[in-house]
Amino acid sequence: MDYLKEYQRWCADEAFDEETKNELNAIKDNEKEIEDRFYKELEFGTAGLRGVIGAGTNRMNIYTVGKATQGLANYIIKKQGEDRGVVIAYDSRHMSPEFSKEAALILNANGIKTYLFDELRPVPELSFAVRQLHCIAGIMITASHNPPKYNGYKVYWEDGAQIVPPVDKGIIEEVNKITDYSIIKKISQEEAESKQLFNMVGKEIDEQYMETLEKLVLNPEVIKKEKDLKIVYTPLHGTGNKPVRTILKRLGFENVYVVKEQELPDGDFPTVDYPNPEDPKAFRLALELAKKKDADIVLATDPDADRLGVYAKDSKTGEYKSFTGNMSGLLIAEYELSQKQERNIIPKDGVLIKTIVSSNLADSIAKNYNIKLIEVLTGFKYIGEQMKIFEETGSGTYLFGFEESYGCLIGTHARDKDGIAAVMALCEAAAYYKNKGLTLWDQMINIYEKYGYFKEDLLSLTLEGADGAKQIKEMMEKLRNNVPNRIGNYAVKKFRDYKVGKIIDMYTKEEKATELPISNVLYFDLENDSWVCVRPSGTEPKIKFYVGVKGSNMQDAESKVKELKEDIQKIIK
């Protein structure tokens, strides 16, 4: 793309409004900034759009959102889904209301009915609404936990999950066909309303969502006994505040303390470097409040409330201990499954689903409860895809799904991570274990004692620009073409290359299919329940090395995981 020519076109073309032209004219002497905004199109990929907000082809703005929406509209028309409609939600980021309304009206201009939420809502409620309203698709305007300058656009299909093949490829093809912004169809809100195409939704969906979550509670009587459980919660300036407070109040929890400084939606996220519950720094204010209130549990959701971060008290030391996504997810899994086993309601075809970079502790839990474990590629949409397969075939009953990046789902009401349901389940579990004299941290140690001390970690290398992309490619090819027999202290038992769809037994050299979609991911099964998985990030200029070990105790596991990370650094130098 000739970035200067494209810049000049945006400055002159009548297709672009005066506000956009003024923003671009203000950078006329900054060629580097012009290049960054116009050297490429903001790519509509399998996760939709995500980028920095601003004018330009490589930015999130009403025109790039419009192009994505017109492409989606063309695909929906091909599938004859106009009358089923599209539900649209948005989070607290800058331009989220504007982008969501723009998307609704473009769909309306194409004769497609829309249901736009009346104010910000979390991802899981959008996923729920797609199914509840029997829509053909859903759009979520969010950049998840990215820094404030970002926003994004995620597309969901009729099952309530983010788009997967072949739907994603079909939509991408339609989006890429649009090379002229002037062909994006327009309609006024008044005209769209008069044609009954533009519809607002809100409280009725909220109530249906809350009622559905309440039905997932297994021990309401224990909550009544432990209603004074002290819960500190922060929505990190995002969408979680109202739904989390509502569900906890409805269940009967009386001591819920919300971090005041982070309670209200704010696209600047002024109290955190970036609003990610995986980052310990995001918990600073919540932990200060927890110490004042002597809280039992400390929780944080990200801006679109699909991820949940957790701290709980160690009864031996009184310290608040952080949970990884693997730990909190599997603590919920163990609680849910143990309670269902007590009631004898675990179905014979029950399934627990995890992603390939998630903890092997899941395998042991599934084995203990005599249920099937399914591994899928990284991304919760692949968990949602399995749920759809269960529905269509009548074989397999979904019991729980999670990924290491702080996301899980109890129930089948949604097809994406549900941070609201996770808050509910963890608070219920905290009440249950408190009734037995245990904190959630105490219970986590009990789980390790029962199954073994599984420990995971992540090594990320940031390599920016064209040179960085080349380095990442070379690293992947080097590992792919020169499979090590050992990684540190561990022999490599099996090697999985998801790009070619093969698993190779390193001892017998026998090969078999991975039976998963093609993806640029390498996985090394090691001795002693250890493993390494390598993949380039889909959203950042990073290559990620996931590692997992099993130790005899917590200290042993931590030592082993540290050593394995060091061994990887030696290999990739």
In this structure, are 225 and 266 located in the same domain?
yes
Whether the CB-CB separation of 91 and 125 falls below 8 Å is answered with no
Instruction: Using alpha carbons, select from 506, 505, 489 the residue that is nearest to residue 563.
Output: 489
- Buried/exposed code over 463-481 (b: 16+ C-beta within 10 A; e: otherwise): beeeeeeebbeebbeebee
Domain boundary, last residue among 451, 477, 496: 451
Q: What per-residue confidence (pLDDT) applies to 539?
A: 66
- Spatial separation of the C-alpha atoms in residues 72 and 43, rounded to whole Å: 14
Query: Does any domain span residue 75?
Result: yes
Instruction: Using alpha carbons, select from 101, 98, 62, 76 the residue that is nearest to residue 200.
Output: 101
Whether the CB-CB separation of 487 and 498 falls below 8 Å is answered with no
Domain boundary, last residue among 433, 451, 469: 451
- The pair of three-digit structure tokens given for residue 371, joined into one six-digit string: 């249920």
In this structure, are 249 and 308 located in the same domain?
yes
Query: Does any domain span residue 431?
Result: yes
Query: Does any domain span residue 31?
Result: no
Residue identified by tokens 């960085």 is 468
In this structure, are 457 and 447 located in the same domain?
no
Count CA atoms within 13 Å of residue 491 on its CB side: 5
- Spatial separation of the C-alpha atoms in residues 14 and 292, rounded to whole Å: 58
In this structure, are 171 and 257 located in the same domain?
no
Instruction: Using alpha carbons, select from 355, 414, 409, 358 the residue that is nearest to residue 379.
Output: 355
E strands, 11-106, where? 49-52, 86-90
Torsion of CA 465, 470, 471, 473, to 10 degrees: 130
Total tally of structural domains belonging to the chain: 3
Whether the CB-CB separation of 35 and 19 falls below 8 Å is answered with no
In this structure, are 492 and 380 located in the same domain?
no
Query: Does any domain span residue 508?
Result: yes
The SS3 of residue 385 is helix
E strands, 274-361, where? 297-301, 308-313, 320-323, 350-355
CA-atom Rg of the chain in angstroms: 24
In this structure, are 229 and 378 located in the same domain?
yes
Instruction: Using alpha carbons, select from 123, 135, 48 the residue that is nearest to residue 93.
Output: 123
Q: What per-residue confidence (pLDDT) applies to 494?
A: 97
- The pair of three-digit structure tokens given for residue 92, joined into one six-digit string: 């607290």
Whether the CB-CB separation of 281 and 458 falls below 8 Å is answered with no
Q: Can you name the residues that pair with 553 across neighbouring β-strands?
A: none
In this structure, are 353 and 489 located in the same domain?
no
Query: Does any domain span residue 217?
Result: yes
CATH of the domain at 457: 3.30.310.50
Residue tagged active-site, from 92, 100, 127, 144: 144
Q: What share of the chain is helix, strand, coil (3-state, %, to 5)?
A: 40, 20, 35
C-alpha distances out from residue 517 to 382, 500, 540, Å = 10, 10, 21
Q: What per-residue confidence (pLDDT) applies to 66?
A: 97
In this structure, are 284 and 297 located in the same domain?
yes
Q: What per-residue confidence (pLDDT) applies to 354?
A: 98
| Phi, psi for residue 275 in degrees, rounded to 5 | -85, 70
The residue ranges of the chain whose pLDDT is under 70 are 1, 539
Query: Does any domain span residue 401?
Result: yes
- What is the Cα 350 distance to its own chain's centre? 24
| Phi, psi for residue 256 in degrees, rounded to 5 | -110, 120
Range of the domain at 128: 40-201
Non-local CB neighbours of 197 within 8 Å, separated by 6+ positions: 107, 108, 111, 112, 113, 114, 187
In this structure, are 73 and 46 located in the same domain?
yes
Whether the CB-CB separation of 268 and 285 falls below 8 Å is answered with no
- Spatial separation of the C-alpha atoms in residues 36 and 205, rounded to whole Å: 41
Q: What is the per-residue pLDDT across 402-434, written as a single tens digit (0 to 9) for each?
A: 999 999 999 999 999 999 999 999 999 999 999
Q: What is the per-residue pLDDT across 189-228, written as a single tens digit (0 to 9) for each?
A: 999 999 999 999 999 999 999 999 999 999 999 999 999 9
User: Active site includes 328?
Assistant: no
- The pair of three-digit structure tokens given for residue 440, joined into one six-digit string: 């959630």
- Spatial separation of the C-alpha atoms in residues 455 and 561, rounded to whole Å: 7
Instruction: Using alpha carbons, select from 405, 387, 385, 403 the residue that is nearest to residue 395.
Output: 387
| Phi, psi for residue 543 in degrees, rounded to 5 | -115, 135
In this structure, are 180 and 301 located in the same domain?
no
In this structure, are 408 and 485 located in the same domain?
no
C-alpha distances out from residue 389 to 337, 386, 395, 518, 564, Å = 22, 5, 8, 18, 37
Q: Sign (positive/negative) of CA torsion 16, 20, 24, 25?
A: positive
Tallying the residues shown for the chain, one arrives at 573
- Spatial separation of the C-alpha atoms in residues 48 and 467, rounded to whole Å: 25
CATH of the domain at 359: 3.40.120.10
Whether the CB-CB separation of 30 and 66 falls below 8 Å is answered with no
Q: What is the per-residue pLDDT across 493-516, written as a single tens digit (0 to 9) for each?
A: 999 999 999 999 999 999 999 999
Non-local CB neighbours of 134 within 8 Å, separated by 6+ positions: 84, 158
Domain boundary, last residue among 400, 420, 451: 451
In this structure, are 459 and 442 located in the same domain?
no
- The pair of three-digit structure tokens given for residue 351, joined into one six-digit string: 């399934």
- Spatial separation of the C-alpha atoms in residues 214 and 233, rounded to whole Å: 19
Query: Does any domain span residue 28?
Result: no
- Spatial separation of the C-alpha atoms in residues 303 and 123, rounded to whole Å: 9
Query: Does any domain span residue 6?
Result: no
Q: Which amino acid is at 488?
A: G
The SS3 of residue 522 is strand
For the beta sheet containing 198-201, the strands, ordered from the edge strand earlier in sequence to the opposite edge, are: 49-52, 150-157, 137-141, 86-90, 114-117, 198-201
For the beta sheet containing 350-355, the strands, ordered from the edge strand earlier in sequence to the opposite edge, are: 372-376, 350-355, 397-403, 407-409
